[in-house]
Chains A and B, each alone.
Chain A
């Protein structure tokens, strides 16, 4: 009977996943975390079954912010789909911008001028720093420390000011174009950026002093949510979550796109795979991003920022293409099937947060509820990216 109910998908999520597997000794408590819970970063709902303070079972429920991005790709033209990309992951909008324009450029064989490639590297890495900064502040907020987010936002605001100079927006950027970017970076952008980088490098040791060494934080992170590499592989985890477990996989290094092969940077990895390692990896990545931006600024060539010989209309030949970039949360992939019409026949978005969230159910099993919150925060989830 129970099996039947499951296969026939009768009832709501709770009935399907909890009543049939309920241990039935009457001592467990079912609790909803979210969709409006301060520690779930957006509209994510997790149903947890608690035995005292221990999590017996946790099931994420998706779909609260589903906007049918993939379906929208099928009804809009290639050009018209551009603004959607800033809304998939609003914290690393330029990463998604890049994955999509990269895919269309590959499909149509559009060349990108070198200056544009460097501008993309600079802005995308800057966006990555701002995304990691927000994660840093929000994660510590989850763990009960309010002050750090104000420090993170002081720097993040400056990044947004700099990015606003060229993109015109502060969050949901729509800046990259097929064959380049939509605006050139000027003298003011470069001088402001250099000033910011110099100042930001001095701020990172301050961040460490402020919290990284703090014993309360270490108590909440060290040895919490130890993620074995094997589990990462099973769920397809990428980005800092995977690197925290010691696998140095970074798309920028292993499938270098754009001009990343000309730039020198390290891929920071953790050892134990606990929440603290994921924390360290992200902070170290900010330092690496600063390095990348500095090199890209030094090497920035002159020339056009947009391919001058673009076609009037973007209608690719029939075919399929996959293009992936390294986003702040992991590997972003865009897969397009073209049937030769002005709109994609099928468009698939591979979002890193989806895989990273999937392992939460297994990882949080048997932990304390407070630790489960810490684990969820350390995965750096962006909910709109999970619900495409």
Chain B
């Protein structure tokens, strides 16, 4: 008798479980079928970092070339070169060279104090991001003294080689500005 009761109980537990799946069967689909549909919650998504342009000049980033982001980046993804007006020759800022050959972790002791923005005579020549190493930690974006870095919302980034993820952010900024100006003109 006890065995019979046990068997009935076991079978009933399955029926209860099947009821749940049965109800679920008629509920609307939850998944977003990617190529046909895209999600709409990327407003705060951390894509790779991107330079932010000045309000008065969409071709120039706010960056004052202090090198804090270069020094802080745990993965050594960022590098920038600049020159001081009148000197002519580009030189790396923030301790890191222009070439990203080895990942090097740099002491923040090398951080230079940010120069006053008004007197900046330095010109940014290139601002590179090696996205292959980036861990999207956010230290560069959050520690920039002039908010010159922001997240791009690039969630659908694909490429066929590593080189495609080595970005020149300055060129990106300029291309973006040019294309938006083109839109405005048209």
Contacts A82-B137, A147-B21, A213-B17 given; 14 further ones with Cβ under 8 A?
Answer: A77-B107, A80-B139, A83-B135, A83-B137, A161-B41, A164-B41, A165-B43, A165-B44, A168-B151, A169-B136, A210-B21, A214-B14, A214-B17, A215-B9
Say if the beta carbon of A75 comes within 8 Å of chain B.
yes
Within 8 Å of chain A (Cβ to Cβ): is B171? no
Classify chain A: how many residues form its interface, as a range: 35 or more
Against B, the Cβ 8 Å flags (1 = close, 0 = not) of A161-198 are 10011111100101001000011000000000000000
Which A residues lie within 8 Å of B138 (CB)?
Answer: 168, 174, 182
The yes or no answer to A211 lying at the interface (CB within 8 A) is yes
Is A65 in the interface zone, CB < 8 Å from B?
A: no
Residue of B14, B74, B137 ringed by the most chain A CB atoms within 10 A = B137
Q: Nearest Cβ distance between residue A221 and chain B, in whole angstroms? A: 13
Nearest first, the 8 closest Cβ-Cβ pairs linking A and B are: A168-B46, A83-B137, A215-B10, A80-B74, A174-B137, A83-B135, A210-B20, A213-B13
Q: A77: which of B9, B24, B108, B137 is its contact (CB, 8 Å)? A: B108
B20 — which chain A residues lie within 8 A by C-beta?
206, 209-210
Output the residue of A80, A167, A343 with the most chain B CB within 10 A. A80
Inter-chain contacts of B41 with A (CB < 8 A): 161, 164-165
Q: Is the CB of B108 within 8 A of A209?
A: no
Counting CB contacts under 8 A, is A79 at the interface? yes
CB contact list, B26-61 vs A, under 8 A: 30, 41, 43-46
Docked-complex contact B13 and A214, CB < 8 angstroms = yes
B19 within 8 A of A: yes
A80–B13 touching, CB < 8 Å: no
Q: Contact at B13–A215, with CB atoms within 8 Å? A: yes
CB neighbours (8 Å) of A343 from chain B are 107
A-B contacts, 24 of them at CB < 8 A, read: A77-B107, A77-B108, A79-B72, A80-B72, A80-B139, A81-B74, A82-B139, A83-B137, A164-B41, A164-B44, A164-B45, A166-B44, A168-B138, A182-B138, A183-B44, A209-B16, A209-B20, A210-B17, A213-B17, A214-B14, A215-B13, A313-B111, A342-B108, A342-B109
| Known contacts A168-B138, A174-B135; is-contact A82 B74 (Cβ 8 Å) | yes
Count of chain B residues near A, Cβ 8 A: 31
Q: Residues on A close to B: CB < 8 A?
A: 75-77, 79-84, 147, 151, 154, 157, 161, 164-169, 172, 174, 177, 182-183, 206, 209-211, 213-215, 313, 342-343
Closest residue of A by beta carbon distance from B74: A80
Given A147-B21, A211-B17; A75-B105 close (CB under 8 Å): yes
Q: B100-117: contact bitstring with A at CB < 8 Å (1 yes, 0 no)? A: 000001011101000000
Contact at A76–B74, with CB atoms within 8 Å?
Answer: yes
Q: How far is the CA of A211 from the CA of B19 in the complex (A)?
A: 11
Residue numbers in B under 8 Å from A161 (CB-CB): 41
Q: Which residues of A contact B136 (CB under 8 A)?
A: 83, 168-169, 174
Give A67 to B44 CA distance when docked, in angstroms: 30
Q: Which residue of A lies closest to B42 (CB)?
A: A164
Question: Whole-angstrom distance between the alpha carbons of A214 and B43 in the complex?
Answer: 42
Known: A79-B139, A164-B44, A168-B138. A154 touches B30 (CB 8 A): yes
* Chain A residues in 8 Å Cβ range of B46: 167-169
Are A313 and B142 closer than 8 Å at their CB atoms?
A: no
